[in-house]
Structure 1
């Protein structure tokens, strides 16, 4: 399983940069393949602005078990997501995910 988390930020600059520290904590796991322990990272991100916004992407690219995880960032807040057996896209601005959690 992999997570592609994103965050959209308003910007007038042509290029945006940010450093994101994130933690992915297991809540209720259902899978048997991959790690079942907390995963964390710190990433320096750069994004091209388009229509006055920058969209940043980050997160573990694989190796976590299927199930429910809590994703925290240093200043973007916390979202609880359900990871499937494919890439799960999480939009941190409003904690929506695709595929949906339900």
Structure 2
């Protein structure tokens, strides 16, 4: 990973969303509806800054973290880490990236 210039965010998340299909039947004759678990979240984390996300149970905190780590795929949006867009990296390329990130 490259060093980040001081003025550039270490992590930048733009319009990140995650939808889950719900309500379809096994035969696929009933179309699935979409449940938006995370809706267009945007934020920056500056070098040396700690970011905390607080909210009610079931509001999407863990889903957002899992999307940023790409443990689950976001539906929309962009994730930039140290100036590199990691939104569409494959699983092998994401492994070393995850070493620099942590969700608790």
Fold-level similarity (TM above 0.5):
no
Report which of the two has the higher share of strand.
Answer: 1
Report which of the two has the higher share of helix.
Answer: 2
In the superposition, the TM-score normalised over structure 2's length comes to 0.29
In the superposition, the TM-score normalised over structure 1's length comes to 0.30
